[in-house]
Amino acid sequence: MKLTKAAFVFLTCMTLLSKTEVFAARLFAPQLRCKCLGTYSGKPINPKLIQNIQVIPAGAQCRNVQIIATLKQGQTCLNHKDEWVKMIVDG
């Protein structure tokens, strides 16, 4: 009877530990894909309307430079080759 209880406790602990490791691995694993599938390359956006800008350099996760602008309506990806985008990033 003691062996059955000990085996049950052991298996329960191992199950909880393995689920915790899987969760932790997902939490800290890098996302290996581009956040920007397409970019906005139209009429320049007024810099006053941009609340935040995030520049993600090219790397292992994505071979393209990604520029994500946060506007009041949401986020949009900007084309890093456009002159007006370069001015906003450098500005």
Q: 48-74, pLDDT tens digit by residue?
A: 999 999 999 999 888 989 999 999 999
Higher pLDDT, 87 or 10: 87
Q: How far apart, in whole angstroms, are the C-alpha atoms of residue 34 and residue 64?
A: 8
Question: Is the confidence at residue 91, as pLDDT, over 70?
Answer: yes
Q: How far is CA 39 from the centre of its chain?
A: 17
In this prediction, residue 22 has a pLDDT band, given cuts at 50, 70 and 90, of very low
Q: How far apart, in whole angstroms, are the C-alpha atoms of residue 78 and residue 39?
A: 5
Burial of 13 per CB tally in 10 Å (0-12, 13-18, 19+): exposed
pLDDT for residue 61: 84
